[in-house]
Every structure is written in structure tokens, then in C-alpha cells.
Amino acid sequence: MQKRKLGNGGLEVSALGLGCMGMSFSYGPPKDKREMTSLLRAAVERGITFFDTAEVYGPFLNEELLGEALAPFRDRVVIATKFGFDLSPDSDPRGMRGAPAGLNSRPDHIRQAAEGSLKRLKVDVIDLLYQHRVDPNVPIEDVAGAVKDLIREGKVKHFGLSEAGVQTIRRAHAVQPLTALQSEYSLWTRTPEKEVIPALEELGIGFVPYSPLGKGFLTGAIGENATFDSSDFRSTLPRFTPEALKANQALIDLLAGIGERKKAAPAQIALAWLLARKPWIVPIPGTTKLHRLDENIGAVSIELTPDDLRDIENAASKITVQGARYPEKLERMTGR
């Protein structure tokens, strides 16, 4: 597996990471723990060294899963986790599925969250700690300062933000240099290209696209008649209505066409396209299936030529993606 560097802080990870949320959260009930442990260890054996989790996934179940599964490989892996939601008993921990849980990035809460993550992950230091969503009630300088203290104390190595806007990124970076920004980015969510990616390049911050396969859509496995159980948060997303799925099929046709040329699956072309954007971009596709893990890893060895990239760009420019990526209240929590 090729390696890439995130940011100027020297954090080196596999060119492709593994998003672990769906193993415990959002895509139906939590998956079988033994099966997911086996999948995580198979990822390590195949060269993946970068694993993404958060305290809200479960809540807490996903961190516990990774803590146990990856304990034998601690010296070979980089685990990123996140703080920023209020997970007290009277809050709504299912915020990522419907009504958002309250945000809480007060410095005392950040410390409390980090201590909990350290225990659940069974580690002495968190490799990469992200603020999950920007909290409008807490100045980002206070957030960055709290993480800076944790870094100074040896409890955290690197600092990141998720779904933050450019001004927030700049203000945080001035207090504690950011190693990475994590935001949704794929052929059907290209918002970061306008302002965020140029700012990251200027500041020397790595980019970690989550949902690089459009929450499964860009695999080509979700047809226009697909239905989702109420425990699957895609059932709440405007982009997964039958009308939107039908309209957005043009993107699958585009990926499949390039894939035929390259003898590759649509998902592999979608990931190879992201990897070709910048050398400091590390996508984190999630999966709960070994054959999908292998398919995703295969994307790293696919080389898209300038002609391929031009063809994708020309075709994509003629496609208007239908449907918002989140319901309005979740959309409001992004780009702050």
C-alpha cells in the first residue's frame, strides 16, 4: 500500500484509510462484533494503517470495537477520533441520524471526551483528534487551545477539524497547526473545491474525504428503486429519494464508462479520481464487507491519465446532482 503525508506535521498514513462508522452506527443496527474485528484486522494485513472513528458512533461502541480489534497492531496503525457532541444521558446521541444531538466543544468537555476516547481505544495517545462539528457557541481559538494543551501533555499527537469553513480553519490553525480537515468530498459532493481545498494547500493541511463513495451510491449498487430501513440514516437524506436516485444515475453511467476502459469497478474510478486530485488527499471509504474492502484497495493502483481526468471532468460538468446531501438542520452544521 502506498503512503501519503497529511499536513506539515509529518503524519504518514496509507493512501486509503478505512471509515469505521457503519460498523456500529447509522447504516442499520450495529454489525456483528467478531465479523467487524476480522474485517479490521484484514485491513491491517492488506496495508491500511489509517482508521477513522468517533465517540458519537454508537455512541462509544465504535471506539470500543477499534480499541479491541486493533490492540495487537497498535504500533502499525493511526487511529483518528472526534469530539464535539453532547452525549450526556439526557441528550439525543442519535443526532447523526435525525435531530442533531447538542454540540459541545467547551474546553472542559473536550478534555473529558479525550479521556474517554483514550480508554475506549486502549491507547496512551490519540493519533489524530478532530472537532466533529464546529460549535458556534465556543470560539474556535478556545477549541484549538484545549487541543494544544492535550498535545503538550502527550495525550494527543495531531489536531483536525471536520466540515469547517475556511475562516474557522485559518483561525484554528493560527493557535494550533491543523494536520487534517475531514469533510465530505466525492464526484457528487464537490463543494470543498471552491474555497476549502485551495486554503488547505496554502496552509499545508491534509484533506480526508469522508463518504468518498457517496454513502454507497457511487458503487453502482444502489438503484433508483432502493429502499432504506428507518435505522439507516440514508432514509432521511434528500439525495436518496427515488427521484434523486434516478436523476443521479448519470454519475454511475459516467464511472462505469471509464471503468470499462480501465477494467475497474465504478467505486474504484471514484476513489482513483479523488487520489489523483492532490497527493495530500486520503479518502476513507467505509465498508462492512471484505470484498468491498478489497475492491476499494484496488483503486490505489489505478492510474487515471490526464485524458481520463479530462473526460471525467467534461462529463461531470454536464451532470447536475439532484437532492441536498443532508436535511436542513444537519446541513446547517457544516461549513461554519
Query: How far is it, in rounded angstroms, from Cα 113 to Cα 115?
Result: 5
Q: What percent of the chain has pLDDT over 90?
A: 94
Buried b (16+ CB within 10 A) or exposed e, 52-80: bbbbbbbbbbbbbbbbebbeeeeeebbbb
For 144-182, write each residue's pLDDT tens digit: 999 999 999 999 999 999 999 999 999 999 999 999 999
CATH of domain 3-213+277-302: 3.20.20.100
Indicate the pTM of the whole model.
Answer: 0.96
Radius of gyration of the chain (CA): 19
The residues that are catalytic are 57
- The overall average pLDDT reported for the chain is 95
242 CB neighbour count, 10 Å cutoff = 12
CB-neighbour burial class of residue 94 (10 A; exposed 0-12, middle 13-18, buried 19+): middle
Task: Locate 192 and state its grid cell.
Answer: 470543498
8 Å CB contact between 15 and 4:
yes
For 223-273, write each residue's pLDDT tens digit: 999 999 999 999 999 999 999 999 999 999 999 999 999 999 999 999 999
Please determine, for residue 98, whether its predicted confidence score (pLDDT) is greater than 60: no
